[in-house]
């Protein structure tokens, strides 16, 4: 390895995930102008492919220029105004981040808390809404990357809507790897990232806004605090506005759009159902191998795409990860926050969720620990 030619790694950490050659080839296609008719056609196709993967008919579905955190901020700054009351589920780093972002938008946040690695029962969310009847939005993380916890979403919107609030979901580590039905589950706003189960390089954050969310945005009393992420302007670029053509907003990351389109085509060629089932099978294969080595999982409801496990007693956290990287070229993640030094995170996302990778990391981990 040198700085000009980075070494190839087997990316089995919390992200980014391995990127297929087809996607890298798409990334290298000739750059066009951001209003070139050919690029506009590619962008339109990419938005339609995103609707299919999100399983939604929401017109306002598009890739925000930025990573998953840009998607989180896009949802927050457009749906929250100063003084609004918001409930955010905090059971890991990214729930905590969502709380912080909402507060920066001027919201009064009522944190719904659970121990790291655990999830929120629907009854707990309903009870919290009863205690805070002025709540305008509930934010929840479906795939908590810091703990590997998989939060059930089906049935949640009914509770939230009955209370007069909107439901916003973080799907950064679940889109394309776990069941996710935006329309059937009546999710009002959602965001994800390209670098996880979609197996695209980091750089875009797919978002989708439903009718209730659009109505909320249209009724705002003041402009969103972020010019760059203001959906009222972004939609005029992505979809045209005022009966005319597209209105320039910012220079879109042209080549990343090519890459995302190719990654989405790969997802749909495999089939969403088959892809989700593959992630489940690889998770079970890894789980059997780890538990056979005496290594246990931390979350009781585990993601298939991100496996958060307890570091065995006596094992050297950083030393083990360093040896995996240096001797086998395998990247896995360490623990974050309260789990630092206590957990390893093994990602099986998209192109990386294969039997070869599962068996490779199990064998390498066994050798290093021995």
**Distance set, CA 359 to CA 176, 192, 265 (Å):** 22, 28, 27
CATH tag, 10-16+271-369: 3.90.1150.10
Q: Is the four-CA dihedral 39, 187, 271, 9 of positive or negative sign?
A: positive
Residue 348 near residue 356 (C-beta atoms within 8 A):
no
> CATH top-level class for 21-268?
alpha beta
Quote the tokens at residue 363.
């064998």
**Distance set, CA 285 to CA 65, 150, 304, 357, 358 (Å):** 36, 18, 10, 11, 7
Q: Taking the domains of the chain in order of start, what are their residue ranges?
A: 10-16+271-369, 21-268
Helices (H) and strands (E) in the chain, counts: 12, 14
How high is the pLDDT of residue 240? 85
- Determine the 3-state secondary structure of 305 from DSSP: coil
> What does each of the 370 residues of the chain score in pLDDT, given as a tens digit?
567 788 899 999 999 999 999 999 999 999 999 999 999 999 999 999 999 999 999 999 999 999 999 999 999 999 999 999 999 999 999 999 999 999 999 999 999 999 999 999 999 999 999 999 999 999 999 999 999 999 999 999 999 999 999 999 999 999 999 999 999 999 999 999 999 999 999 999 999 999 999 999 999 999 999 999 999 999 999 998 766 688 999 999 999 999 999 999 999 999 999 999 999 999 999 999 999 999 999 999 999 999 999 999 999 999 999 999 999 999 999 999 999 999 999 999 999 999 999 999 999 999 999 9
How far, in Å, CA of 292 to CA of 364, rounded? 14
First-to-final CA distance of the chain: 27
CA 58 from centre of chain: 18
pTM of the entire predicted model: 0.96
How far, in Å, CA of 147 to CA of 13, rounded? 13
Beta pairing class for 189-191 and 204-209:
antiparallel
How high is the pLDDT of residue 241? 73
Smallest CA-to-CA distance from 361 within 287, 301, 264 is with 287
Residue 211, strand partner residues? none
The angle, 0 to 180 degrees and rounded to 10, between the axes of the packed helices 272-292 and 355-369 is 20
Quote the tokens at residue 202.
């980091």
Smallest CA-to-CA distance from 135 within 88, 72, 103 is with 88
Question: φ, ψ for residue 36 (rounded to 5)?
Answer: -60, 135
Residue 258 near residue 27 (C-beta atoms within 8 A):
yes
Cα diameter, the chain: 67
């Amino acid at each position: 390895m040198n700085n000009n030619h980075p070494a190839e790694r087997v990316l089995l950490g919390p992200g980014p995930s391995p990127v297929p050659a087809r996607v890298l080839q798409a990334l290298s296609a000739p750059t066009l102008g951001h209003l070139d008719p050919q690029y506009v056609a590619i962008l339109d196709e990419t938005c339609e492919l995103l609707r299919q993967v999100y399983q939604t008919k929401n017109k306002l579905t598009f890739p925000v220029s930025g990573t998953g955190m840009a998607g989180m901020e896009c949802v927050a700054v457009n749906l929250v105004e100063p003084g609004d009351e918001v409930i955010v589920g905090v059971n890991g780093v990214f729930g905590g981040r969502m709380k912080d972002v909402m507060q920066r938008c001027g919201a009064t946040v009522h944190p719904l808390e659970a121990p790291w690695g655990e999830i929120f029962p629907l009854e707990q969310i309903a009870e919290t809404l009863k205690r805070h009847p002025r709540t305008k939005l509930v934010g929840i993380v479906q795939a908590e990357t810091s703990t590997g916890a998989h939060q059930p979403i089906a049935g949640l919107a009914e509770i939230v809507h009955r209370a007069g609030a909107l439901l916003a979901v973080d799907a950064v580590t679940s889109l394309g790897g776990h069941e996710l039905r935006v329309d059937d589950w009546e999710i009002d706003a959602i965001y994800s990232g390209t670098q996880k189960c979609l197996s695209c390089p980091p750089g875009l954050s797919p978002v989708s806004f439903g009718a209730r969310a659009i109505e909320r945005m249209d009724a705002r009393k003041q402009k969103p605090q972020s010019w760059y992420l203001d959906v009222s302007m972004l939609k005029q670029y992505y979809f045209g506005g005022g009966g005319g053509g597209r209105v320039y907003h910012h220079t879109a990351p042209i080549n990343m759009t090519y890459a995302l389109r190719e990654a989405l085509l790969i997802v749909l060629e495999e089939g969403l159902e088959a892809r989700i089932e593959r992630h489940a099978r690889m998770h079970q294969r890894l789980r059997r191998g780890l538990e056979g080595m005496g290594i246990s999982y931390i979350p009781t409801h585990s993601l298939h795409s991100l496996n958060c496990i307890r570091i065995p007693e006596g094992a050297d956290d950083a030393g083990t990860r360093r040896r995996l990287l240096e001797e086998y070229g395998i990247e896995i993640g360490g623990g974050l926050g309260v789990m630092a030094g206590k957990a390893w995170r093994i990602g099986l996302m998209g192109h990386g969720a294969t039997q070869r990778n599962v068996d490779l990391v199990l064998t390498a981990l066994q050798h290093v620990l021995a």
